[in-house]
């Protein structure tokens, strides 16, 4: 009986840890936690990019956003900021916002509270040191927000935010037009758009399709009368 009770208790703890990760599902977070889904001001669309910084791809996005006169939020990995501090610094110098995407890009299904807090605080500190501004936002890798990561984010003084539209642009065979259409399927005023300026390890070329899709996405927003900017202007 004791072993059965122990298994049941462990299962209960596991469910309590994993359960909040159901917020990855758009209908769940849109209905229960619209702010977590990135629902903000109805006249504004937040443009966000994940997985950088990268010395090859990120500067291309910075140049493009300058041409479009758009500022965005870049969810960056602490380990990559430490490796490419000059790219992160340039991102801030161009008027963009840095946010925490974790220290490394891995799912964190198992509860490891000590590690989670240490890594988020470490990432936050690196971003603050490089950018000169304390980051506000946290988006977990893969959007997997367990109860452990909720608590770690609170202890690191970070606010979790996922997304309400995405381009599925990590898929290398998606054309720029497909990325734009996928974003447009759920795009409306108050949306937070998730795109990628890099892959987590800096390999691949899917980012090129994203780069080509961004002008059309911005055009769609402006035609609808929505401003496009970072999360700092969104809520």
Q: State yes or no: pLDDT of 11 exceeds 70.
A: no
Element (H, E) at 190: none
The answer to whether 60 touches 196, Cβ cutoff 8 Å, is: no
Residue ranges and CATH numbers for the domains of the chain are: 2-233 (3.20.20.370)
Instruction: Round to whole Å and give the CA distance between 207 and 227.
Output: 24
User: pLDDT tens for residues 59-90?
Assistant: 999 999 999 999 999 999 999 999 999 999 99
Mean pLDDT of 43-67: 98
pTM: 0.89
Q: Can you give the pLDDT at residue 19?
A: 43
What the block records as the tokens of 6 is 């122990």
Residue 135 binned pLDDT confidence (cut-offs 50, 70, 90)? very high
Q: State yes or no: pLDDT of 105 exceeds 50.
A: yes
Q: Can you give the pLDDT at residue 75?
A: 98
Tally of CB atoms within 10 A around 200: 22
Share of the chain above pLDDT 70, in %: 85
Instruction: Round to whole Å and give the CA distance between 63 and 73.
Output: 15
Q: Which residues are catalytic?
A: 50, 196
């Amino acid at each position: 009986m004791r072993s059965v009770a122990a298994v049941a208790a462990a299962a209960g703890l596991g469910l309590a840890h994993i359960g909040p990760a159901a917020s990855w599902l758009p209908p769940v977070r849109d209905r229960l936690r619209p702010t977590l889904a990135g629902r903000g001001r109805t006249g504004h669309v937040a443009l966000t990019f994940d997985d950088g910084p990268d010395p090859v791809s990120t500067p291309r996005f910075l140049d493009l956003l300058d041409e479009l006169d758009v500022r965005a939020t870049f969810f960056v990995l602490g380990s990559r900021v430490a490796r490419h501090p000059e790219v992160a610094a340039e991102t801030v110098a161009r008027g963009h916002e840095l946010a925490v995407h974790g220290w490394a890009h891995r799912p964190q299904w198992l509860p490891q509270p000590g590690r989670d807090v240490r890594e988020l605080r470490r990432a936050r500190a690196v971003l603050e040191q490089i950018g000169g501004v304390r980051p506000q936002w946290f988006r977990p890798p893969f959007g997997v927000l367990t109860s452990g990561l909720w608590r770690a984010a609170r202890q690191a003084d970070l606010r979790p935010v996922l997304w309400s539209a995405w381009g599925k642009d990590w898929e290398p065979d998606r054309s720029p037009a497909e990325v734009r259409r996928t974003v447009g399927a759920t795009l409306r005023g108050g949306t937070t758009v998730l795109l990628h300026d890099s892959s987590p390890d800096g390999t691949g070329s899917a980012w090129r399709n994203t780069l080509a899709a961004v002008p059309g996405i911005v055009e769609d927003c402006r035609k609808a009368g929505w401003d496009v900017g970072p999360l700092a202007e969104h809520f």
